[in-house]
Amino acid sequence: MFEPIINRNRVPTEWRKIPWHDPDFSQRMLREHLAQDHDLASRRLAIIDQQVAWLHREVLAETPATILDLGCGPGFYADRLTRLDHTVPGIDISPASIAYAREHCAGTFILGDARSHDLGNGYDLVMMVYGELNAFAPDDAARIIDRAYQALKPGGRLLLEVHTYDMIERIGHEPPTWHTAPSGLFSDQPYLCLSEALFEDNCALSHYYVIEQESEEMTHYAAMHQAYTDDGYRHLLRQFARVAFYPSLAGENNDTGQDHLFVIVAWR
């Protein structure tokens, strides 16, 4: 059972992500999105309300706009923006999140990958929030930004909420740990999860080794997050005419306790 851990390769040869697209995994992840006692998957709704109010007022000038929400999850932002008279299609790779959004939220929701799915064009705003861009390999992040640029109308804006370099570095230096759960993100059955992290080449790599109680089988998950300096973000956005940085998705009034995230707005 433990041989894969003992003989593990801590540094993979290709970019690794949690399988958000897997139907069973996405269903468990949806439970985390909907939870209102933490902000680990989606933020609590009171915080989202505050952020949408800032977006509507300061970025969109309270004027109806066409917005593309990349990585929309269960549709919390798209729903609120739609109810403020914006037109908001959202796209996400998680089947459970998209199914939930279609049933419970205002807006249009598409099951697809932001790297390859047809995004359309003519948007006033394209947005990707909660550090989602950092979860993509640098080449894929650049591809998403280029596709967003092409999807915008002239003068349209790309809004990114991204992690600070220091935050990604901290993730990569987290000490090895373990926990047990009667059920949770990694399984509907009782399980033990061993985790370790590594920071190398401006990238945080988190390993999760999950052993289910009943089967005693081990499943390995890995997630990678790319760190960028401010200049690194500017380089990613170099094709845009202008770039501005904001301290949070609520402007200056960031009382969410999440100062490891900030906002970049880029004008086409």
pLDDT > 70? residue 254:
no
pLDDT > 70? residue 4:
no
pLDDT single digits (tens) 232-253: 999 999 999 999 999 999 887 6
Domain ranges of the chain: 23-163+229-267, 167-225
Q: What's the topology of domain 23-163+229-267?
A: Rossmann fold (3.40.50)
pLDDT at 121: 97
User: In angstroms, rounded to a whole number, what is the distance separating the alpha carbons of residues 6 and 166?
Assistant: 30
Contact 39, 47 (CB under 8 A): yes
Per DSSP, the residues of 5-51 read HHT--SS-SS-----TTSHHHHHHHHHHHH-SS--SSS--HHHHHHH
pLDDT single digits (tens) 176-199: 999 999 999 999 999 999 999 999
User: In angstroms, rounded to a whole number, what is the distance separating the alpha carbons of residues 246 and 123?
Assistant: 21
